[in-house]
Structure 1
Amino acid sequence: MPVNQPHKSATLYRMVMPKHTCPYGLKSKDLLERQGFVVDDQHLTTREQTDAFMAEQGVNTTPQTFIAGKRIGGYEELRVYFGEIKPESERANTTYQPVIAIFTMALLMALGLSWYHSGSLFTLRAFEWFISIAMCLLALQKLKDIEQFSTMFLNYDLLAQRWVRYSKLYPFGEALAGILMTASAFIWLASPVAILIGSIGSVSVIKAVYIDKRELKCACVGGDSQVPLGFISLTENLLMVAMGCWMLLKPTLL
């Protein structure tokens, strides 16, 4: 780790061309300045100049940062140097960050709608909106790349393994149920869809994770997910089942 000292300086080589400014170069410069470094900002303004620099340094990418005459590397290496992240070899290959972001956004949106609708944050309708909006956001993640999602989904979903087309229908079903429940419209359609896909998903996760003891990535936030299949996936499916049942029974209970 670097030793704190006054007037720290660093040299940064980054691409700044008429039609392209490297975003990682900007991030590196910002990080260095936030760490108190005076940056000698060297611009690589042509493709030829960039290629010559990389050949001279024996690297394949820019930007490149030098501190005290030592090459630190690109933006990721600079973050490691300053202790912002762990080296790649020490990083976990799973993360819950996408799920946390989605459920947090869904909760805040639900509270905002509740405040607008009734002047109160914590209402029954806010809880319903939280679940339905979360379903919409999760469906959106899946629909970003439905082919990749379906491939990952086929690893564990029991119905999809018997009827492959279901792996591509699932996100549309989740989106439809979420949208209709948000609007409290056509509940006769939305609730059965949510109950059906949630029940199948719950059984599939229980079998794959808790019975077969398989270590898989969850397709709940899309096909590029690094979220482990398990509690989060099971919770998503159980919430859909609970929401479907609640929306069907609510008129008789209230």
Structure 2
Amino acid sequence: MLDKTNPVHLSRNAVLYRMVMPDHTCPYGLKAKDLLKRTGYEVDDRHLTTREETDAFKAQHGVATTPQVFIGEDRVGGYDDLRRFLGRPVTDPKATTYRPVIVLFALTALMAMAASFAVDGNPLSLRAAEWFIAFSMVALAMLKLQNVESFATMFLNYDLLAKRWVPYSYIYPYAEGLAGVLMIAGALNWLSVPVAFFIGTVGAASVFKAVYIDRRELKCACVGGSSNVPLGFISLTENLMMIGMAIWMTVASAGLAVGHAM
């Protein structure tokens, strides 16, 4: 264990060993070098240029990975160890987070406002609200379709219809994307509205049962099968948005039809 009160550790000098080969430059080595420099360390940057040299270094110091950081005569360790040593947070790859969904909704909201401003000169129009939901549906479908097999596997953990009819877990992202595209265009409402209402209703019922009735702690497949987004309120929101959009478009179409009839 390093003693940060030791004067040698206050000298702000570090030695970094990292792989820099013709066909591979270690990204964590670059991160470690950047972090050291940003925190005021002078870096003696030493490259391991061959696999043999790297293996020999690992054997000499009894380590399994590179990069390795040394401060004074003590080994700090790899990139995550360096972050801990400097008091920086270290990301847990298994930790659940809502960040992917929050970022997606924030960007689709900005896209909708930008599109509305370009068309109407008003970023906060009713059309912007409609586009926000439709853009979100398309973006979510796109993330699911990056690896539909992985999505389907995670989706089968909680979706009520998919558990009874497995092909639905593969159909769902295509249906969501199709409904979103049609809603952006304002075309074929007779198709997009029932599709959005159906998958939104089944999805909302599935999430509500899994989270609030069965009290299960699951990951949501909403942004793809490899996500660490917890199944919960935000997952429910995705489905409620689709239901709301379908109802709104039905009401708006009915109102437009009445207006034309008068």
Fold-level match, TM-score > 0.5?
A: yes
Give matches, 1:1-40, under 5 Å: 2=4, 8-40=12-44
**Matching of residue 45 in structure 1 with residue 46 in structure 2:** no
- The answer on whether the counterparts of 1:80 and 1:87 sit within 8 Å (CA) in structure 2 is no
Task: Give me the CA root mean square deviation.
Answer: 1.9
Q: Percent identity?
A: 58
Question: Residue type of the partner of 2:52?
Answer: E
1:233 corresponding residue in structure 2: 235
Work out the number of aligned pairs and report it. 252
Residues 87 and 249 of structure 1: CA distance in aligned 2, closer, same or farther (over 3 Å) = closer
* Unmatched 5+ stretches in structure 2: 257-262
Which of 119-128 and 65-74 deviates more? 65-74
Q: Write out per-residue CA displacement over residues 127-173 of structure 1, whole angstroms, 9 at most, x where no aligned residue.
A: 11111111111111111111111111111101000000000110101
Q: 2:4·2:10 contact (CA, 8 Å) conserved in 1?
A: no
Among 81, 97, 100, the residue aligned to 1:98: 100
State the TM-score, normalizing by the size of structure 1.
Answer: 0.94
Return closer, same or farther for 1:87/1:123 CA change in 2, 3 Å cut-off.
closer
Deviates more, 1:35-44 or 1:66-75: 66-75
Task: Give the deviation of 1:253 after TM superposition.
Answer: 3.4
Give the conservation status (yes or no) of the 8 Å contact 1:217–1:225. Answer: yes
Q: How does 1:57-96 map to 2 (within 5 A)?
A: 57-86=61-90, 88=92, 93-96=95-98
Return the alpha-carbon distance in structure 1 between the equivalents of residues 12 and 118 of structure 2.
51
Q: Distance in 1 between matches of 2:4 and 2:151?
A: 43
- Within-5 A mapping of 1:149-228: 149-228=151-230
1:159 and 1:153 map into 2 onto residues whose CA distance is 10
- Residue 23 of structure 1 deviates from its aligned partner by 1.2
Cα distance in 1 for partners of 2:159, 2:147 equals 18
Question: Runs of at least 4 residues of structure 1 off by over 4 A?
Answer: 1-7
Residue matched to 2:122? 120
Q: Which residue of 1 aligns with 2:58?
A: 54
Secondary structure at 1:227 match in 2:
coil
Report which of the two structures shows the higher radius of gyration computed on alpha carbons: 2
Secondary structure at 2:202 match in 1: helix
For 1:248 and 1:57, the matched residues in 2 are separated by 68
Q: Return the letter of the residue paired with 2:129.
A: F
Aligned equivalents of 1:215 and 1:117: distance in 2? 43
SS at match of 1:200: helix
Given that residues 2 and 82 in structure 1 are in contact (C-alpha distance below 8 angstroms), is that contact kept between their aligned partners in structure 2?
Answer: no
AA partner of residue 38 (structure 1): E
CA-CA distance at 1:11 after TM superposition: 0.6
Question: Match for 2:231: what amino acid?
Answer: L
- Report the alpha carbon displacement of residue 60 of structure 1 after superposing the two structures with TM: 1.6
TM-score by length of 2: 0.91
